[in-house]
């Protein structure tokens, strides 16, 4: 009796072991193993002890709408009736999920500002105005933004999961989490703000500010938010020219936003200086790892990101005489005018930004206007006394790099706040999202419910002992197999 039972169980286990890799998923619960039904026991073992609903794909693709804007504000503070101009520039009738704004010359480029210590006052003032514009539009009371992030080089954000999901922290600071949680609760009681300041960075007059809908922080994992700055102005290392950048990951997609202010000048060869500064920004921008980072790897350089946006006062001019340029502008013949655009030619010739894209320009050049509150370009014939002679040009540009980026619009606004007109673009971006519902749809049956149950009838003491030994050995092997299998996942 003992020998037959032992041989029967050994054969059953052997068959299951040979066939276990041929069947990937289980559809039924484990049934009892009895001496009377070897085939039934074999089929039950073959089911790998897992209850599972239909498995959905691991990765889903969602679409995000990202607004990218650039504006050279000519050293002026955000005062007066500028809120009306901001509303028009940000185009809140067609609200985006993320707003990425790049400013140039938020302070006058005087010697004391270029070589002196950084003063965050103007950056804070611009953040206050942007936050008020974004959030007041929805009738929500807006509280003070997180302005202390201006000088920080590393940010970590915690995704707020639904109650049915596991909370995953991307921050190493419990105190910061609690402070943000209390602020969120306070805002919720009052109606709450719609957008959150994610990161901002200032270098002399170049400034970047990134805002995200709060609901996205509940929906997506946002991690490894970092900033970087590169000064490549006077002597190649002063901050009157250069870039500030933000790196961040949303779920499985990495983003880099580069706000730049490049060398000015319309003399022959000045485009070469701009090209060199672009190369320097690519070479010197870095987002190094730190002990505060989570375990997910993040790109260390600009070109390591999945989706990249480069925008700002890039200062590329027109290879065209002033009077002819003004003639084509008067005719609104933007296609003919683009034939002489320096940046467009550099893109085509591969001199800079190889493989990058820019939308079709169907608006007038954005620089240089005579003064504030004026719709007339500076210079021209006859020239006014003391006025700089400048050929109009598309200095303010937005470029992108990466697969799947779709530009929905590219336009300029008509604010007369400075001698530049603000420019913006709206994009639709695919983002890879881990499908967490898959985790909750798979359940591992507790081990005690799948153990072979031996009926005690007609068993000798020796048989019982041997059966128990067989049961223990089988449990050990099954446990190792389950632990090693990548297809079996615990309930989350």
Q: What's the pLDDT tens digit per position in 346-372?
A: 999 988 999 999 999 999 999 999 876
Supply the pLDDT for residue 168: 33
Q: CA–CA separation, 466 vs 476, rounded Å?
A: 15
Model pLDDT for residues 199-238, shown as the tens digit of each residue: 999 999 999 999 999 999 999 999 999 999 999 999 999 9
- Least reliable range by pLDDT among 3-17, 43-57, 85-99, 261-275: 43-57
Predicted confidence (pLDDT) at residue 471 exceeds the cutoff of 60: no
341 vs 3, which has greater pLDDT? Answer: 341
Residue 84's pLDDT band (cuts 50, 70, 90): confident
Q: CA–CA separation, 333 vs 367, rounded Å?
A: 17
Predicted confidence (pLDDT) at residue 319 exceeds the cutoff of 60: yes
pLDDT, averaged across the chain: 77
443 found inside a domain: no
Supply the pLDDT for residue 329: 97
452 found inside a domain: no
455 found inside a domain: no
436 vs 357, which has greater pLDDT? Answer: 357
438 found inside a domain: no
Residue 69 sits in which domain range? 60-137+192-368+398-433
173 found inside a domain: no
Q: Please compute the mean of the pLDDT values over residues 371-389 and round it to a whole number.
A: 76
Model pLDDT for residues 159-200, shown as the tens digit of each residue: 444 433 333 333 333 334 444 555 555 444 444 679 999 999
254 vs 487, which has greater pLDDT? Answer: 254
- Report the CATH number at residue 80: 3.60.10.10
Residues of the chain above pLDDT 70, percent: 63
Angle CA(414)–CA(415)–CA(417) in degrees, nearest 5?
A: 150
258 found inside a domain: yes
Residue 476's pLDDT band (cuts 50, 70, 90): low
Model pLDDT for residues 116-143, shown as the tens digit of each residue: 999 999 999 999 999 999 998 654 444 4
Supply the pLDDT for residue 281: 98
Global pTM reads 0.71
Question: What is the number of structural domains in the chain?
Answer: 1
Query: Residue 259 phi/psi, 5° resolution?
Result: -100, 125
Q: Please compute the mean of the pLDDT values over residues 336-352 and round it to a whole number.
A: 94
Residue 14's pLDDT band (cuts 50, 70, 90): low
264 found inside a domain: yes
Q: CA–CA separation, 338 vs 376, rounded Å?
A: 20
Residue 389's pLDDT band (cuts 50, 70, 90): confident
């Amino acid at each position: 009796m003992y020998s037959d039972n032992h041989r029967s169980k050994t054969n059953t286990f052997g068959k299951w072991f040979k066939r276990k890799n041929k069947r990937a998923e289980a559809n039924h619960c484990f049934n009892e193993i009895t001496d009377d039904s070897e085939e039934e026991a074999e089929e039950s073992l073959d089911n790998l002890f897992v209850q599972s609903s239909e498995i959905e794909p691991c990765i889903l693709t969602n679409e995000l709408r990202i607004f990218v804007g650039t504006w050279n504000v000519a050293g002026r503070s955000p005062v007066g009736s500028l809120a009306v101009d901001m509303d028009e520039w940000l185009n809140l009738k067609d609200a985006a999920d993320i707003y990425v704004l790049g400013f140039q010359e938020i302070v006058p480029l005087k010697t004391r500002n270029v070589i002196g210590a950084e003063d965050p006052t103007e950056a804070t003032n611009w953040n206050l105005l942007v936050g008020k514009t974004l959030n007041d539009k929805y009738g929500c009371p807006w509280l003070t933004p997180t302005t202390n992030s201006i000088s920080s080089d590393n940010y970590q954000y915690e995704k707020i999961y639904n109650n049915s999901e596991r909370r995953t922290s991307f921050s190493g600071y419990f105190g910061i989490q609690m402070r943000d949680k209390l602020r969120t609760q306070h805002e919720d009681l009052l109606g709450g703000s719609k957008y959150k300041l994610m990161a901002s960075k200032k270098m002399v007059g170049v400034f970047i500010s990134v805002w995200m809908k709060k609901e996205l922080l509940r929906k997506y994992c946002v991690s490894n938010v970092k900033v970087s700055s590169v000064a490549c102005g006077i002597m190649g290392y002063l901050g009157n020219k250069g870039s500030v950048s933000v790196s961040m990951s949303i779920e499985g997609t990495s983003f880099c936003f580069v706000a730049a202010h490049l060398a000015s000048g319309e003399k022959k060869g000045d485009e070469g200086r701009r090209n060199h500064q672009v190369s320097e920004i690519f070479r010197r921008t870095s987002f190094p790892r730190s002990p505060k980072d989570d375990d997910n790897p993040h790109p260390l350089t600009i070109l390591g990101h999945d989706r990249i946006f480069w925008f700002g006062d890039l200062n590329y001019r027109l290879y065209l005489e002033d009077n002819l340029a003004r003639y084509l502008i008067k005719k609104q013949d933007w296609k003919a005018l683009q034939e002489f655009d320096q940046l467009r030619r550099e893109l085509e010739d591969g001199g800079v930004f190889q493989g990058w894209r820019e939308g079709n320009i169907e608006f007038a050049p954005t620089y240089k206007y005579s003064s504030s509150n004026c719709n007339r370009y500076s210079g021209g014939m006859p020239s006014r006394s003391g006025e700089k002679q400048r050929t109009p040009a598309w200095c303010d540009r937005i470029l992108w790099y990466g697969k799947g980026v779709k530009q929905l619009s590219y336009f300029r606004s008509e604010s007369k706040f400075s001698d530049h007109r603000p420019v913006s673009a709206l994009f639709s971006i695919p983002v890879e999202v881990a499908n967490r519902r898959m985790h909750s749809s798979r359940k591992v049956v507790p081990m005690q419910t799948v153990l072979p149950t031996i009926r005690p009838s007609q068993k000798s003491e020796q048989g019982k002992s041997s059966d128990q030994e067989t049961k223990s050995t089988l449990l050990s092997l099954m446990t190792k197999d389950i632990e090693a299998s990548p297809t079996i996942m615990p309930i989350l």
